[in-house]
Amino acid sequence: MKKKEKCAVCEDELDSDAEDEGEKNVGCDICPRWYHLSCTKLAGQTYVAVCDQEFICNFCGDREY
């Protein structure tokens, strides 16, 4: 059983079969959180382009390393 992931921003369920680019799921490269593409700073980019680069969410990106 695969549990439903929820977007860490809007807390709506993520649909892995979403056809709308903005509804597709992106996972942070650092933490286990998942987001709608449209709920991230990458909104407006295509899903393929997003998969091609690293995605660090706002929670992780706010940290200073």
Q: Contact with Zn ion (CB under 5 A): which of 36, 37, 40, 55?
A: 36
Q: Contact with Zn ion (CB under 5 A): which of 23, 28, 40, 55?
A: 28
Tokens of 33: 């959180």
Burial code (b: 16+ CB inside 10 Å, e: under 16) for 43-56 equals eebebeebeeeebb
Q: Contact with Zn ion (CB under 5 A): which of 26, 39, 40, 55?
A: 39
**Pairwise CA distance, residues 62 & 44, whole Å:** 21
9 binds Zn ion (CB under 5 A): yes
Residues of the shown chain interacting with Zn ion in the complex, contacts defined by CB under 5 A: 7, 9-10, 28, 30-31, 36, 39, 57, 59-60
